Structure 1
Amino acid sequence: MFKLSPYPLSSHGKLVRWGLLGFSCTPLLGTYFYHQGYRGRFLVCPIGHLTGIPCPTCGMTRSFMAIAQGDLVQAVTENLFGPVLFASFVIVAVHIALELLTKRRITSFYCHLVKQRKLQIIGLFAILTYYIIRLYNISQTGEMYLSFINSPLGKLLF
């Protein structure tokens, strides 16, 4: 299941892992601090703000906040892939931290799964399909049209 490399990590390997650890811990720490009451004005989707149309990742922050509150149903409602991405960040953070602690590369079953091109394509297809369905649903209510017209881009064009 887990295999520890007999060779120690190089200094470049350690540096890369520190970067990955920082990248994977940032949304987790952001979720924690946001849940504690810290707010930032920068948490606005630029695509959604400028066009009024949600991007494929819109709802991730709200999904992460729901996870922090223990509300998995709300997390899935906000964005279907929010809990999956949150769990991925946790797994990567723990994995990289263990590699840095042991100073050795650790391979496991999920390392091989992530590298498979078929699974990458299936994942991308699932995300895009979900996004298209979300766009279709909000277009049926007229919400997307109103949001676009009232957005900065909509005001510039109309």
Structure 2
Amino acid sequence: MLRFSDAVLSKQERLSRWGFLGLTTAPLVGAVLFNHTGTPPFLLCPFRAITGIPCPGCGLTRSFLAIARGDFENALRMHLFGPVLFLAFAGAAVLMGLELKTGRRLRHPPFYSFNSRIQSWWWLGGIYLGYYALRLYSLFQTGEFYINPLKTIFLRS
């Protein structure tokens, strides 16, 4: 059950909630809109376009678009963390909206006890980078790189 504190949100807290609400809803709304209008060219990954190597976030946009279409199998295929981030953004947007509507701060947001037990989240970054390394290895094995980065490094020597 969600419980709100008795203190009213200050003007600064309301502004920060509005900003956070905008940041969390933008990818969700964009995924829905771009499914109907087509993906614009500015959503292409500049890192991959320059190097031929996908960045750790490559596939997240396509995963979000697949989720907005209801295609969860392709969403997981595009990026394993896509559905997790989509749910996190949606949950954060709902919580920010509730705080703005009530004008009060949540006393103990969901996952509060889980977050207080885990002092450091560095391991989550490690899991993400490990997944990225597995994706790179898989792309290297299947030959889906635009260029072969190892060949480029060794040819320059």
* TM-score of the two chains, using structure 1 as the length reference: 0.86
For 1:110, the equivalent position in structure 2 comes to 111
After superposition, what is the alpha-carbon deviation per residue over 1:107-129, rounded to whole angstroms, capped at 9, x for unaligned?
Answer: 323245456334x2232121111
3-state SS, counterpart of residue 80 of structure 1: coil
* TM-score of the two chains, using structure 2 as the length reference: 0.87
Q: Among all aligned residue pairs of Structure 1 and Structure 2, give the percentage whose two residues are the same amino acid.
A: 41
For 1:82, the equivalent position in structure 2 comes to 82
For 2:71, the equivalent position in structure 1 comes to 71
Gaps of 5+ in 2: none
After superposition, what is the alpha-carbon deviation per residue over 1:15-65, rounded to whole angstroms, capped at 9, x for unaligned?
Answer: 000000000010011001011225422111111111110011100111111
Paired residue total: 150
Gaps of 5+ in 1: none
* Distance in 1 separating the partners of 2:101 and 2:132: 39
* Distance in 2 separating the partners of 1:68 and 1:31: 6
After superposition, what is the alpha-carbon deviation per residue over 1:54-109, rounded to whole angstroms, capped at 9, x for unaligned?
Answer: 01110011111111111111100000000000001100100000000000001323
For 2:122, the equivalent position in structure 1 comes to 121
Change (3 A) 1:114 1:53: farther
Q: Root-mean-square deviation (CA), in Å?
A: 2.0
| Further displaced range: 33-42 or 3-12 | 33-42
